[in-house]
């Protein structure tokens, strides 16, 4: 039978045939499938026509399966189980999965989100993995194709309204200096004096290029400037520079957090008000109901709290 002809066949008949091959009885099949005996008899008639074989034949008071019926009974078991599996909603088990989730993010997202996420995964899904890929022009296409599970972005990212989104946290800015820096002993909960802030050199992280950041634009409104000695596209490298020099680094607090103890750094409150931002995860509708992807999004959100 060609696939084009299969659509004209009632596939429910195959369930009846599998039962008949085992029971060799219209009555027993009717009871097993919760059908009436006339309905099973009609189904048997249709099956005989489809397969051009009597399938069941009388032998005294009993019914015997033909060779074709026995052959079909053997083949139908795995075939029907496979069809049932296709229709079933697969259960996702974090403890047993070896799935690798792909997340597109910038250097900031990697520093701010991934340490806590991997810590949670090691506890709840030790066989799972995360592959971080660079945020790029084709990241949205990656979501649509299924090549990327999640895209991590700030709230000013112009995302298509068709994407699903979940807020992860709000971010604020801190100043980071080496613990040996002369400013390190100033109170962390009070704004750093602006004169001290401007007296020291700075390192600036500009992920998408340029020579100015939020701080510089704020200072420009006051007709002030700071002395920048290093421009970097990487959040991960900037704290290491601050740890070995006398520069001041002003970055989002979560990007600084993983390096404080590791690189012997301290945080101070910026001298000016710097507008923070919200951070969120985006995903495509094609993975919205995927059990594994849903679980991963939940774990990600919880790890950011």
Q: Quick one: which H or E segment has residue 279? A: strand 277-283
User: Which residue's structure tokens are 């340029």?
Assistant: 210
Nearest to 231 by CA among 243, 218, 247: 247
Please give the angle made by the CA atoms of 139, 141 and 117, to the nearest 5 degrees: 40
- pLDDT tens-place string over residues 181-206: 999 999 988 999 999 999 999 999 99
Residues 161 and 298 both lie in one domain: yes
Residues 80 and 107 both lie in one domain: no
Domain boundary residue among 58, 87, 116?
Answer: 87
What pLDDT was estimated at residue 7? 64
- pLDDT tens-place string over residues 216-265: 999 999 999 999 999 999 998 999 999 999 999 999 999 999 899 889 99
Residues 37 and 110 both lie in one domain: no
Residues 218 and 148 both lie in one domain: no
Q: Quick one: which H or E segment has residue 74? A: helix 67-87
What is the phi/psi pair of residue 285, to 5°?
A: -65, -25
By residue range, what is the domain housing residue 126? 100-169+278-303
Residues 147 and 223 both lie in one domain: no
Give me the DSSP letters along 87-145: HS-PPP-TTT---EEEEEE-HHHHHHHHHHHHHHHHHH-TT-EEEEEE--TTHHHHHHH
Nearest to 53 by CA among 30, 9, 21: 21
Residues 117 and 208 both lie in one domain: no
CATH number of 296's domain: 3.40.190.10
pLDDT of 139 > 80? The answer is yes
Secondary structure class of 183 (helix, strand, coil): coil
Confidence of residue 4 (pLDDT cuts 50, 70, 90): low
In a domain, 236, yes or no: yes
Residues 202 and 285 both lie in one domain: no
What pLDDT was estimated at residue 137? 85
CATH number of 65's domain: 1.10.10.10
Whole-angstrom Cα distance, residue 107 to residue 120? 20
Q: Looking at the whole model, is its pTM more than 0.85?
A: no
Higher pLDDT, 103 or 289: 103
Secondary structure class of 63 (helix, strand, coil): strand
Cβ proximity of 175 and 270 under 8 Å? yes
Which of 70-79, 173-182, 187-196 is predicted least confidently? 70-79
Cβ proximity of 151 and 223 under 8 Å? no
């Amino acid at each position: 039978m060609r696939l084009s002809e299969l659509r004209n066949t009632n596939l429910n008949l195959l369930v009846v045939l599998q039962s008949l091959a085992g029971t060799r009885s219209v009555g027993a099949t009717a009871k097993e499938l919760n059908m009436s005996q006339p309905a099973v008899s009609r189904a048997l008639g249709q099956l005989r026509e489809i397969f051009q074989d009597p399938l069941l034949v009388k032998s005294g008071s009993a019914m015997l399966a033909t060779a074709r019926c026995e052959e079909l009974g053997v083949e139908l078991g795995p075939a029907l189980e496979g069809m049932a599996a296709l229709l079933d909603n697969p259960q996702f088990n974090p403890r047993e999965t070896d799935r690798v989730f792909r997340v597109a993010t910038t250097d900031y997202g990697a520093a701010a989100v991934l340490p806590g996420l991997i810590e949670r995964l090691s506890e709840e899904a030790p066989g799972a993995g995360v592959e971080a890929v660079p945020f790029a022009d084709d990241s949205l296409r990656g979501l649509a194709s299924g090549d990327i599970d999640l895209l991590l972005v700030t709230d000013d990212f112009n995302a298509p309204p068709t994407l699903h989104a979940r807020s992860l946290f709000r971010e604020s800015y801190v100043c980071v200096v080496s613990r040996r820096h002369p400013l390190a002993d100033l109170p962390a909960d009070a704004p750093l004096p602006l004169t001290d802030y401007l007296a020291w050199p700075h390192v600036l992280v500009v992920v998408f290029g340029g020579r100015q950041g939020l701080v510089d634009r704020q200072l420009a409104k006051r007709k002030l400037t700071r002395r920048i000695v290093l421009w970097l596209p990487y959040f991960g490298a900037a704290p290491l520079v601050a740890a070995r020099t006398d520069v001041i680094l002003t970055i989002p607090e979560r990007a600084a957090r993983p390096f404080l103890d590791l690189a012997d750094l301290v945080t101070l409150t910026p001298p000016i008000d710097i507008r923070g931002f919200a951070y969120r995860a985006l995903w495509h509708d094609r993975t919205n109901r995927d059990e594994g992807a849903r679980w991963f999004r939940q774990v990600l959100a919880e790890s950011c709290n």
